[in-house]
Structure 1
Amino acid sequence: MNFFTGVDWIVLFAYFVGTMSIGFFFMRKSSSTEAYTAAKRSLPGWACGLSIFATYLSSVSFLGLPGKAYATNWNAFVFSLSLPIATFVAIRWFMPYYRSSGEVSAYAHLEKRFGSWARVYASSCYLLTQLARMGAVLYLMALPMSVLLGWDIRIVILVVGISVTVYSFVGGVMAVIWSDALQAIVLMGGALLCSVLMLFKMPEGPGEIFRVAMDADKFSLGSFGPSLVEPTFWVVLIYGIFINLQNFGIDQSFVQRYIASGSEKDARKTVLIGGLLYLPVSLIFFFIGTQLFAFYHAQPGDLVEVRQLVATQRVIQEGIASGTAEFGVRVSEIATTLTDKEIGDKVFPHFIGKYLPPGITGLLIAAIFAAAMSTLSTSLNSSATLMMSDWYKRFIRPDASERQTMRVLYGATIVWGLLGTGVAFLLINISSALDAWWVLSGIFGGGMLGLFLLGVISRKANNPISVTAAILGLLVIAWMTLSPMLKSPALEGLQSHFHSFLIPVFGTLTILLSGLILSRFRKA
C-alpha cells in the first residue's frame, strides 16, 4: 500500500537535497582536523544546544516514544524526568572540565588519571554504544519509509545507510551541528501538527482520547513499588539518571559540542537547551502515542489495516512469494496474532501516510529522514574522531600529519557507517526498537561513568585499583546480561532477576564503590 503522492515525493526530494547541501556547503570549511572534529571552537551555544537536543530527538524518539506509549503507558516518560538532574551536574562540573582540558577526546583525561588502558576501555565502550545507537536510529527511520512506500525495509536501510555515510563523510561536525539545529525545529513543528490534527479527528471529539486512555490506564508512570524486577517508576528514573549522567559526562558527541561552543557562556547555553528542551517535547510524543491508541481503537478497520501491513512485511522477510495462496494465508495467520506491542512502532507511520494532507506527509517523513541523518552523522563523526585521536594518533602514529589524520577520519566514517547499517538489519524483527536501544546502550556503556566518577571523587585510586574495579564492574555487567540465558534448573540460582535497565546502574556502582573501598584499604 503506497500512501505517497506526487506532491509528497517533490517535498521529500527537495528536503533531501537541501539537507545534503548543508553537508557539501561545509565541505571546504571542514578540510582540517580541528574543523572536522571541533568546528574551530566557534559556534553559537543555541545551535550546539539544538544539536544535542536533536541527538535525543532522533527517529528513536519520533517513532519509538509514540510506539511505546501506544503499546503500554507513560512509564518510559520517567526517563525524561531525570534530565534536569543530569543538566545541573553537567553545567556545574562536566562542561567546565572539558572546556579547560583542551582535548578533543572525552577519554584523554582517563589516560592521565589511570593510564592508557582506561582510555582504550572507555573509547571501546563508546564505539560499541554508537553501533547500537546507529542501528536503532537507522531502523526506526527506515520503518515509516517502508510502510508508506511499500518498499522492503532492507532496501530502505541499505539506501539510507549509504546516504548518511556520504553526508557524514563530507561535512564534518560543523555541518552536523547546523543541520541538527534545522531538523530539531522541523521535527518539533511536525510533532505539534500531528498532535493537533489527531485531536480533531476523533469520532466523538478530543474528549474521547482522555476517556479511552483513562479506561486503559495509558497515563500511568508505572508502579511505585520497591520491585527491581519490573520497570517501575523508580527503576526507570534511576536508569535515566545514570544514562543521562553518562551522556552529559562522558559521551564523545556531547563533549564535542561543549568544545565547539564559542565561549563558556555559549557552552552553558548548549547544555541548558540540549538538556531541558527534550522534557516537554518528549511529553508531546508520549501524548501522540496515547492519541494513536484512542484513535485506532475507535476505528477498528484502520487497526486491521496496520496489522495487515506489518504481517505482509514479515511474510516478505520469510521469503514467501507475494501473490501466492501461501502468501495470503500466512499474512492472515500473522495478522490475527499480532499484539499492540508488536505493532506499536508501525502505527504512527500509518497515520502520517493516511491522514496527513499531501505535502505535509512528505515534509514529515523528510524531517524524520533528515533527523536520522543528523543523529547518525553525529555518531559517525564522534566515532571517527575517537578512532583518530584515541587509536591512530595515540598508538599507531603520534606524529601523524594533517593529511594522514584526515584520511583516518574519512576511512573511519565509512567503516562505522557500514557497521551501523549492519546493526540496523539485526533489529528488523525486534518488537520494540526503543527497548532494544535502551538495553544495548546500558550493556555497551560498560560502566564508563563509574570509572570517570572514581577518578574525580577519589585521589587515592591508582592504576591497580582502577583496573580491579573495572574488572569487577564488567563481571557484574556480564552476569546480569548473560545469566538470564541459563536455562538449566541446576543453574537457576545463578540467574540475575534484576530488570535489564539496572545493568548500567549496577555496573557503574560496582566500579565506583569497589574503587572507593580499595582506596580506603590502600590509605590504611
Structure 2
Amino acid sequence: MEPQTDPVGKFQVWDYVVFACLFLISSGIGVFFAIKERSKVSSKDFLTGGRQLTCGPVALSLTASFMSAVTVIGTPSDVYRFGATFIIFGIAYTFVVIFTAELYLPVFYRSGITSTYEYLELRFSKPVRVAATLIYIVQTILYAGVVVYAPALALNQVTGFTLWGSIFATGVVCTFYCTLGGLKAVVWSDTFQMVVMVGGFLTVLIQGTEKSGGISEVWKTAEEGQRLNVFDFDPSPLRRHTFWTISVGGLFTWLGIYGVNQSTIQRCISCKTEKHARLALYLNLLGLLLILSCGVFSGLIMYAYYSKCDPWTAGYIKAPDQLMPYFVLEVLSSFPGLPGLFVACAFSGTLSTVAASINALATVTYEDFVSQYFKNLSNRAATWTSKGLCVVFGVACTTMAVVASYMGAIIQAALSIHGMCGGPTLGLFSLGILFPFTNSKGALGGLTLGITLSFWVGIGAFVYPPSDSNTRPLPLSIENCNFPNTTAASVTAVPFLSTTASADRSALAENWYSMSYLYYSAVGYLGTVIGGLLISLLTGRSKPEEIKPVLIRPVCNLFCFWSEKYKKKCWCGVNHAEDTMDDVVDFGTALEKPSDNDFKTEENGKKQSNNTNDETHMNAAFVPETAF
C-alpha cells in the first residue's frame, strides 16, 4: 500500500454541510433551553438543571464530556505508535465507576450541596475549600485548553482552516450554548454529540477496515508489528505504559477525574434521585468502554494501512496527533460528507467537554466565591452573574489552547494535567470521606504536600523528558513510501518529545522525572493522604461526635458479610446508626446560603412539593446502616 505523497484532499461542500450542522444543532439546543427555561431565573436551576434530570441523558453527557477530542484523535495515535496496551484502561474505568458510585457520590448527593467544594468547608474549614477550588479552576482551564487545541489541529490538517481561527470558533460556540441554556443545554447537547462521536468512529472503522484488506489482514499486520502485545507486567514505575501503570496509575488518574470532579458530580447531583445518579454512572461505563474500544481499533486499522509507509516519519505530517485526521481524509475522501462527519465527531467531544467545564467552573466560582461575599444578590442578579462567569471562563479556556500547542502529545498532556491536580484533590476528599479523625490542619497540610510532589514530578518531566528506553516506541516503516532522494528502507520514529542523552542526565532526571505520567495522580494522592493523617495525629484528631455522619462514608459498611460489631468498631466513634433521614434533611437545610432567601417566598410552594417527593424517594434509597 502506497499512501499518496502529495497532501491529501480538502473538504468538499457536503463535508462543510455536515460539519456546520453540528454547530447549528448544538447552538440550537442552547437557544431552545434559554427560551424554555426563561421563567426559571434561579441560579440553581441554571447551574444544576433543577435537579430533575434522568439517568439516560446524564450518562451520555458524562461519556461525551470525558471522551473528548483528546480520545478521538489522541488514542488512535498512541495505539499506532505504542501498541494496543491502551485497552487496559478499561480495567481502570470499571473500578473508577464502582468507587465513584459507591463511595463518593452518596456523600455529595445526600448532603444537598451544589459545589463539591462546599463539602470541604463543612467537613474541614473554609481555607481548605478555597485552596481546593483554586486548584480545580487551574486544572480545568489547563485541560480545556488541551481539549480545544486538539480538534482545531484536526480541522487545520484536513481542511486548511487556520489553526487559531478553528480554536476561536470552538470557544465561541461552546460559550454560546452554555451561557444561554445552562446545565440542561450542556447535558442535552452532550447527548446529541455522543451520537455524533459514535457515528464518526464507526464510519472510520468500517471504511478503514475495508481499505486495509479486512479484519483478518488488520489483525495479522498489527500482530506482526507488535501492536497486539498488550500485557506487559514489568513492575518498573518508569515505563510509560504497562499493565500496572495503566490499571493502577490510570485508576488514580481517572478517579480524580470522576470521583470528586465538579463537572462529573454536578451532573450526577442534578439527577432526580440518587438511584438515577448511580445508574447514570454505570450506564456511562458502557459508553466509556465503547469509545475506548473504538479508539484502540482505529489505531490498529491505521497502523495496518500505513504499515509500509508511515506518514509521520516520511514527513507528510508534522506531529503524531495529525495521524488520525490525515488517515480519515485519505480513506474517506471519495465519500462526500464522511470526512466532515469525522471532524464533527472530534468537535463533538470538544464541545461537550469544554461546555461542561465552563458550566462547572461557573458553578464553583459562584458558589465558593461570589455567593460568599455578595450574600444579598437578587435572584436575577445571581443568574446573570452565573452567565457572565460562563463567558469569562469560555474566554479563558479558549486562550489556554495557545499554551496547549506547546504541551506535546495531547493524550499525555491531558492526563498529566489531571494527574498533577486531580490526585491531591482526590486525596483531600478521601481524607474527609474515609478517615473520620482527620482535622482541617491535616487536610490543608496534606494537600500542600500532595500538590508539591505531583507538580514537582510533572514539571520536572516536562523539562527533562523521559529517555527512549522508558517510552519504547514501536518500529515504523517507510520502505514503500514513494518520494525521491530517499535511501532509508526502514526507520524507527523518535518520541514526540525530544530527550537528553542518558549520560548527561542526573539521577533525579533518570528516576524521579522519568516516572510514568500515569503515576502523577497516585503520587499526589498518597502524599496528601499520608501527610494529612500524620499531621492530624500530631495536632489532635477530630472529635467523632462533632462530625455529621452524612459527611462520612465508612468503607466497612459496604461489605455485607461483616458483623454489626466490627462495622461499628470501624466507625471510629461516628454514630452512623443515628444517620436518619431527618438528619439529612436538616443538614441539607443548613447548607442553604443567605443569597437563596430572596427567592424562597416565590418558590416556597414548589419547594414544599419537591421536598415531599425528595423525602419519598430518598427514604426508599436511604436506610440507616444498610444504605451503605
TM-score class, shorter-chain normalisation, is 0.7 to 0.9
Q: Give 1:361 shift.
A: 2.2
Indicate the residue corresponding to 1:228 in structure 2. Answer: 237
Structure 1 Cα separation of the partners of residues 184 and 138 of structure 2? 24
Indicate the residue corresponding to 1:335 in structure 2. Answer: none
SS of corresponding position for 1:218: coil
Q: Give 1:206 shift.
A: 3.1
SS of corresponding position for 1:230: coil
CA separation of 1:349 and 1:466: change in aligned 2, threshold 3 A: same
Indicate the residue corresponding to 2:338 in structure 1. Answer: 360
Structure 2 Cα separation of the partners of residues 254 and 281 of structure 1? 18
CA separation of 1:45 and 1:310: change in aligned 2, threshold 3 A: same
Alignment of 1:32-47 (within 5 A): 32-47=42-57
Structure 1 Cα separation of the partners of residues 378 and 145 of structure 2? 33
Q: Give 1:490 shift.
A: 12
CA separation of 1:453 and 1:465: change in aligned 2, threshold 3 A: same
Question: Are residues 1:347 and 2:323 paired?
Answer: yes
SS of corresponding position for 1:410: helix
Structure 2 Cα separation of the partners of residues 235 and 297 of structure 1? 27
What count of residue pairs does the alignment treat as equivalent? 488
CA separation of 1:308 and 1:255: change in aligned 2, threshold 3 A: same
Structure 1 Cα separation of the partners of residues 244 and 176 of structure 2? 42
TM-score when normalising by structure 2:
0.73
CA separation of 1:100 and 1:137: change in aligned 2, threshold 3 A: same
Indicate the residue corresponding to 1:278 in structure 2. Answer: 288
* Larger Cα-atom Rg: 2
- Is contact 2:149-2:404 (8 Å) kept? yes
Question: Are residues 1:263 and 2:239 paired?
Answer: no
Question: Are residues 1:387 and 2:396 paired?
Answer: no
Structure 2 Cα separation of the partners of residues 206 and 249 of structure 1? 37
Q: Give 1:406 shift.
A: 2.0
Specify which structure has the higher proportion of helix: 1
One-letter amino acid of the structure 2 residue matched with residue 411 of structure 1: G
Q: Bigger relative contact order, structure 1 or 2, given CA contacts below 8 A and separation 6+?
A: 1
Indicate the residue corresponding to 1:20 in structure 2. Answer: 27
One-letter amino acid of the structure 2 residue matched with residue 407 of structure 1: W
Structure 1 Cα separation of the partners of residues 18 and 92 of structure 2? 37
Indicate the residue corresponding to 1:472 in structure 2. Answer: 449
One-letter amino acid of the structure 1 residue matched with residue 400 of structure 2: V
Identity of aligned residues (%): 26
Pick from 192, 195, 203 the counterpart of residue 182 of structure 1. 192
Question: Are residues 1:461 and 2:435 paired?
Answer: no
Question: Are residues 1:211 and 2:189 paired?
Answer: no
CA separation of 1:239 and 1:182: change in aligned 2, threshold 3 A: same
Structure 2 Cα separation of the partners of residues 91 and 305 of structure 1? 42
Indicate the residue corresponding to 1:72 in structure 2. Answer: 82
CA separation of 1:479 and 1:142: change in aligned 2, threshold 3 A: closer
Gaps of 5+ in 1: 312-341
Pick from 513, 516, 521 the counterpart of residue 533 of structure 2. 516
Alignment of 1:290-305 (within 5 A): 290-298=300-308, 300=309, 303-304=310-311
SS of corresponding position for 2:264: helix
Structure 1 Cα separation of the partners of residues 127 and 249 of structure 2? 27
Pick from 11, 15, 18 the counterpart of residue 8 of structure 1. 15
Alignment of 1:402-417 (within 5 A): 402-417=379-394
One-letter amino acid of the structure 1 residue matched with residue 227 of structure 2: K
Alignment of 1:117-516 (within 5 A): 117-202=127-212, 204-221=213-230, 223-231=232-240, 232-298=242-308, 300=309, 303-304=310-311, 310-311=317-318, 342-343=319-320, 345-356=321-332, 357-394=335-372, 396-445=373-422, 447-483=424-460, 485=463, 492=506, 496-497=512-513, 498-516=515-533
Cα deviations by residue, 1:462-506 (Å, 9 ceiling, x for unpaired): 12222222222233224323445489x999455524333222211
One-letter amino acid of the structure 1 residue matched with residue 386 of structure 2: L
Indicate the residue corresponding to 1:330 in structure 2. Answer: none
- Is contact 1:106-1:252 (8 Å) kept? yes
Q: Give 1:402 shift.
A: 1.7
Q: Which deviates the most, 50-59 or 356-365?
A: 356-365
Structure 2 Cα separation of the partners of residues 15 and 471 of structure 1? 43
CA separation of 1:366 and 1:472: change in aligned 2, threshold 3 A: closer
Q: Give 1:437 shift.
A: 0.8
Q: Give 1:250 shift.
A: 1.0
One-letter amino acid of the structure 2 residue matched with residue 209 of structure 1: V
- Is contact 1:55-1:374 (8 Å) kept? yes
One-letter amino acid of the structure 1 residue matched with residue 25 of structure 2: G
The Cα RMSD (Å) is: 2.5
